[in-house]
Amino acid sequence: MEAALETTKDISRPRLVELRDIGKQYGGTVPTTALAGVNLNISYGEFVAIVGESGSGKSTLLNIIGMLDTPTSGSYAFDGHPTETMTPSEIAYHRAADIGFIFQAFHLIPSRSALDNVAMAGMYNGIPLRTRQKHAEEALEKLGLAKKAAAFPQDLSGGEKQRVAIARAICNNPKLILCDEPTGNLDSQRSLSIMHIFDELHTEGMTLIMVTHNEKQTVFADRVVRTRDGILSEVEDSQV
Amino acid sequence: MRHAEKEQKSTIRVKDFLHEILSAASSRPSRTLMTIAGTILGIATFIGIIGFTQSAAGQISEKFNTLEATQLHLTDNLPKTSQKAALSFPTDSLKRITALNGVKSASLYWKVDSDVHPLSISTKPTFGSQNSTGFAVYAADNGLFDFARNSMKIGIPFNSFHVQHQSHVAVLGEKTAQHLGINDLTLPHTIYLNSEPFSVLGILHSVTELPEIDTSVVIPDTTSLKLYGKPTATSPAQMMLRTDMGAARLIANQAPYALRPDAPQNFLVDAPQDWSKATRGVQSSLSGLLVGLAVLALLIGCVGIANSTLTSIFERIPEIGLRRALGARPRHILAQILGETALLGGIGGLIGMSLGLAAILGVCFVQSWTPVIDPMLLLLGPLLGILTGTIAGIYPAVKASRISPITALQHL
Ligand SMILES: Nc1ncnc2c1ncn2[C@@H]1O[C@H](COP(=O)(O)OP(=O)(O)O)[C@@H](O)[C@H]1O
Ligand SMILES: [Mg+2]
């Protein structure tokens, strides 16, 4: 069955992500097809959940959307700009300015305080340190971590670490937030509180794409797509 | 509008870059210290040895300096082939030279050529012309005794009166007096050069500047001119001068003109050496060793920093992935690691330099030397450290910049 996933809930909103026939092949001794013929449009303000089994290509898809990886075939336009014509510097700029990443392993720098970790966002698109620090304070405040600004990652709980990482993702006010199994390292209680944060961001108008293998979490998303052996399909009866 | 036109490039501000480097170095001080231990040691050794060499050379040149800058020598420039005896020094040489500003004392002298005038030195007149082997006759003006101050062991020197009147007087060197069995001048003594009698006025101590005096008889130059004629090319007339501190080089230029404005080229001037030449010799022989030590110091420091940076890069793979996700390009990762290692090297250089300087001061204090430290050394330490750190950082930095962000972010 041909994957035709161009429908959006609100077609009046401009498109942020536009994937056309995306394929990703890995070479090596045993060549792997991680993605094949993926078509996906995501509009501003949407919250899309990507589900699928382990090894089905979820992370690969997310990395391509986040411009950390490049597809081997197909075309990808971000915010109306085809990424194929962008210079490496422009691509890196979009990662810095327009995209916030949230990872399963948090990826906080252990030797830096929570505030310093959050303030790293925007460093590589030339935002001055002072401004970044101000934004970082605001983001930590928003996530209820104002008191933990000076704390180091080792002194934070798993849930707090992920909230610091979320603060880092949002503090530069990006166009898109990408989460790869953000609650994979957290218990159900803490996972739920993280989902509530995403829900709140979504309500505020943020565009989010979240990879998860916890089907329960899809209730927070506008749309759910599923990957299976590199092929993408829309999950029609997603409950809202 | 203006905002939309802004160039969309990945970039980091210089100030923020420096902040990132400093944060990395200061976040784990004990680890930083471990990393740069080799650099500290290497540069401390290097600076210590340079400082030690400079200070040691300083002591040598200090001695050369005081000696050479106050003494000089003029020699009558007679053609060596000429058999004719000659004297370019005018009769009033002493007066002309001591009139120069900066001359303290001077003496004109020459050795009477024993080939032309074989002289037997004895307490009795002799009529053959047999040389006294091992002993010589020197002609000198009375300036000699000014020059070699406190040089009389007993008796008195001859003076300008004796010189003016070509008196038959003599002053004996210490060994000559011993040889002739004269050790007491309470009774007048007479010695004979062949058949010519001379009254002994005094006996000299050894004279540092003219050690041959020890085994000589010194007679007034005028007397010698009358009896034995002008000096020959084999033992030409010479003049030694003592000047005020540092005036020797100037006097060296003036003296030939003061003596003979018509023929200054008649004198060979043994000018004091430029003292730096003397130390240059000492330094150049050590410079090869120093280059070797510098390279060794660099190597020790490099290996230390490179090794520890490689280890830390492995630990920091997720951080590298994160930076890439935050918009860093491979060149930013490269610059970050190189900057960190250069800073580490610089800190190592600074600490090493301080330790090295402390060691020099310690050695100089113990040896009671004057420490001689080139101010460039204060720059050299940190610069060498930065160089060490930068070289050490190249391999880890290139490696780090090539790490794929996706693999790096999968790394837990
Ligand atoms: N760097 C790589 N080299 C080779 N194969 C890879 C690489 N990364 C992922 N793959 C393969 O691509 C497929 C999709 O991987 P991934 O997107 O990580 O899956 P998911 O995130 O859904 O678990 C898997 O079969 C995986 O083994
Ligand atoms: Mg994955």
Compute the average pLDDT of residues B326-349.
Answer: 96
Q: CATH number for the domain including A115? A: 3.40.50.300
Q: Which pTM does this prediction carry? A: 0.69
Question: Using CA positions, which residue lies closest to atom 20 of ligand 1?
Answer: A55
Question: Which of the 8 DSSP states describes residue A185?
Answer: T
The answer to whether residue A28 is domain-embedded is yes
Pick the residue of A116, A123, A132, A171 with the most B CBs within 10 A to test the interface with B by mutation.
A123
> Does residue A148 lie in a domain region?
yes
Report the length, in residues, of chain A.
240
Q: What is the pLDDT of residue B305?
A: 94
* Residue A107, both tokens: 């990826």
Task: Give me the residues paired with residue B4 across strands.
Answer: none
pLDDT digit string (tens) for B175-190?
A: 999 999 998 888 888 9
**Contacts A90 to B, Cβ<8 Å:** 8-10
> Cα of A57 to ligand 1 centre, how many Å?
6
* Token couple for A5: 């996933």
Confidence of residue B287 (pLDDT cuts 50, 70, 90): low
Which residues of chain A have a CB within 8 Å of the CB of B9?
Answer: 89-90, 93
B210/B238 Cα distance (integer angstroms)? 11
What is the model's pLDDT at position B18?
Answer: 94
* Ligand with the closest atom to the CA of A182: 2
User: Which pLDDT score, from 0 to 100, does residue A54 have?
Assistant: 92
Q: Name every chain B residue with its beta carbon within 8 A of the beta carbon of A66.
A: 325
Contact between B10 and A96 using a beta-carbon 8 Å cutoff: yes
- Asked whether A157 lines ligand 1 (CB < 6 A), one says no
Q: Mean pLDDT check: name the lowest of A150-159, B162-171, B199-208, B321-330.
A: B199-208
Indicate if ligand 1 lies below 6 Å from the C-beta of A55: yes
Please give the full DSSP string across B97-137, using - where no structure is assigned.
HHTSTTEEEEEEEEE--TTTS---EESS---S----TT-EE
> If you compute the radius of gyration of chain A from its CA atoms, what whole number of angstroms results?
18
Q: What is the mean pLDDT of chain B?
A: 86
Please tell me the distance in Å from B6's CA to the nearest CA on chain A.
Answer: 11
Partner residue opposite A124 with nearest CB, options B28, B318, B326: B326
Asked whether residue A158 is assigned to any structural domain, the reply reads: yes
pLDDT digit string, tens, across residues A70-113: 999 999 999 999 999 999 999 999 999 999 999 999 999 999 99
Cα–Cα dist B129/B118, whole Å = 6
| Residue pair A41/A6 in contact by the 8 Å Cβ criterion | yes
Contact across the interface for B8 and A66, Cβ inside 8 Å: no
A29 lines ligand 1 (CB under 6 A): no
Chain Cα centroid distance, residue A145: 21
Q: Which of A89, A112, A122 sits opposite B329 (nearest CB)?
A: A89
pLDDT over 60 (residue B146): yes
CB distance B69 to B272 below 8 Å: yes
Amino acid at B35: T
- Report whether residue A58 contacts ligand 1, using a CB cutoff of 6 Å: yes
Under 8 Å CB-to-CB from A50, ≥6 apart: which residues? A58, A61, A62, A209, A210, A211, A212, A224, A225, A226, A227
In the predicted model, is pLDDT for residue B366 greater than 50?
A: yes
Residue-wise pLDDT for A175-226, tens only, equals 999 999 999 999 999 999 999 999 999 999 999 999 998 889 999 999 999 9
Ligand nearest the Cα of residue A180 is: 2
Closest to A171 measured CA to CA, from A94, A117, A109: A117
Ligand nearest to the CA of A50: 1
Residues B319-325 have a mean pLDDT of 97
Shortest distance between the Cα of A102 and any Cα of chain B, in A, equals 10
Query: CB–CB of A123 and B16 under 8 A?
Result: yes
Interface touch A107/B12, C-beta < 8 Å? no
Residue A4: what pLDDT? 44
Which ligand has its closest atom nearest to the C-alpha of B404? 1
Cα dihedral value B333, B339, B342, B346, nearest 10: -150
Domain that holds residue A64: 6-239
Instruction: State the distance between the two ends of chain A, measured CA to CA, in whole angstroms.
Output: 26
DSSP output for B2-70: HHHHS----B--HHHHHHHHHHHHHHSHHHHHHHHHHHHHHHHHHHHHHHHHHHHHHHHHHHHHHHHTT
Q: Considering its fold, how many domains does chain A have in total? A: 1
Amino acid at B216: S
> How far is the centre of ligand 1, averaged over its atoms, from the C-alpha of A34 (Å)?
6
List all residues 6 or more positions away from B98 whose beta carbon is below 8 Å from its beta carbon. B105, B106, B143
Tokens of A236: 């029609």
The rounded distance, in Å, linking the Cα atoms of B71 and B238 is: 13
Alpha carbons within 13 A on the beta-carbon side of A57:
25
Q: Whose CA is nearest to atom 16 of ligand 1?
A: A57
B283 band by pLDDT with thresholds 50, 70 and 90: low
**Which token pair is A232?**
């993408």
Torsion angle (degrees, nearest 10) of CA A162, A163, A166, A172: -140
Is A1 a domain residue? no
**For residue B200, what pLDDT is reported?**
93
B336: pLDDT strictly greater than 90? yes
Q: Residue B3: its pLDDT value, please? A: 47
Best mutation site among A56, A227, A232 for ligand 1 pocket (most ligand atoms within 8 Å of CB):
A56
Q: Please check whether residue B62 is in contact with residue B278, taking contact to mean a CB–CB distance below 8 angstroms.
A: no
SS3 at position B261: coil
pLDDT digits (tens, 9 = 90+) for A22-35: 999 998 888 999 99
Q: For ligand 1, say whether the CB of A230 is within 6 Å of any of its atoms.
A: no
Task: Report the C-alpha gap between A211 and A52 in whole angstroms.
Answer: 9
In whole angstroms, what is the distance from residue A154 CA to residue A161 CA?
9
Model pLDDT, residue B190: 92
Query: Which of B3, B6, B16 is best to mutate for the A interface (most A CBs within 10 A)?
Result: B16
CA distance A56 to B326: 26
- The CB of A224 under 6 Å from ligand 1? The reply is no
A56 CB within 6 A, ligand 1: yes
pLDDT for B86 equals: 87
In the block, residue with structure tokens 């003049």: B239
Separation between Cα atoms, residue B120 and residue B126, nearest integer Å: 7
Interface test with B, best of A107, A113, A116, A131 (most B CBs within 10 A): A107
State in Å: Cα A179 to ligand 2 middle: 10
